[in-house]
Amino acid sequence: MKTAVISYSLTGNNEALANSIAEELAVEHIRITEPKPRTMGSIVLDTIFNRTPQVQPMSSRLENYDLILFCGPVWLGQVATPLRAYLKYLKTDLRRYAFISISGGADGANTKLAGELKKRVGREPIALIDLHIADLLPPDPKPVRKDTSAYRISDGDIEKLTGTIVKTVREAISNWQ
């Protein structure tokens, strides 16, 4: 089974995690980039108008793989918009996918992700892993958005999270094979 990790990252957290997952699973890692600079304003506008931004490489790059492990941030409760073209591409074929994210989590779990993925792809992922920076910080005082958005995951965090993710993904694969 040919697997790829496909990541998008604005501030580096999901990129670092995706790198480590790809290395651990010994699979290819494809990084999504945008030709236009990403701003707070464009995040809000993509969300309000349900826009699918232009990205590189093109989503047809997925045709080489049987299983796609997406890794990217959550923005305003949704999968980061640069991943949308890829989710849309999957709607027209039956490739398996998983979604993995390290997001802020200061306001709790991102409860709309499962519904969004099902709507955009037309089927559920084999695994949905919604990890939070808030859980990596000391619990007292309770981390707020300012704390989580300033945090960059450490090598220790990456090692710990990669272990959990790889275990979950392997279990999910063995459940559908």
Ligand X SMILES: Cc1cc2nc3c(=O)[nH]c(=O)nc-3n(C[C@H](O)[C@H](O)[C@H](O)COP(=O)(O)O)c2cc1C
Report in angstroms how near the CB of residue 175 gets to ligand X at its nearest: 27
Q: Are 74 and 68 in contact (CB under 8 A)?
A: no
Rounded CA gap, 55 and 119, in Å?
21
163 binds ligand X (CB under 6 A): no
Query: Which residue lies nearer to ligand X by CB, 14 or 19?
Result: 14
Query: Which residue lies nearer to ligand X by CB, 6 or 74?
Result: 74
What is the DSSP code (8-state) at residue 48? Answer: H
Answer for which of 4, 5, 9, 20 binds ligand X (CB under 6 A) is: 9
Query: Which residue lies nearer to ligand X by CB, 3 or 9?
Result: 9
Query: Which residue lies nearer to ligand X by CB, 158 or 173?
Result: 158
**Three-state secondary-structure class, residue 1:** coil
45 binds ligand X (CB under 6 A): no
Name the nearest CA neighbour of 95 among 14, 23, 17, 176. Answer: 176
Rounded CA gap, 177 and 174, in Å?
5
Site residues for ligand X, window 91-130 (CB under 6 A)? 102-105, 110
Q: Which stretch binds ligand X (CB under 6 A): 49-57, 72-80, 92-100, 136-144?
A: 72-80
What is the DSSP code (8-state) at residue 142? Answer: P
Burial 62-90 (b: 16+ CB within 10 A, else e): beebebbbbbbbbbeebbbbbbbbbbebb
Answer for which of 76, 91, 119, 171 binds ligand X (CB under 6 A) is: 76
Name the nearest CA neighbour of 53 among 28, 23, 78. Answer: 78
Rounded CA gap, 105 and 28, in Å?
28
Query: Which residue lies nearer to ligand X by CB, 66 or 159?
Result: 159
Report in angstroms how near the CB of residue 137 gets to ligand X at its nearest: 12
Q: Which stretch binds ligand X (CB under 6 A): 8-16, 29-37, 51-59, 118-126?
A: 8-16
* Residues at the contact surface with ligand X, assessed by CB under 6 A: 9-15, 40, 43, 73-77, 102-105, 110, 133, 149
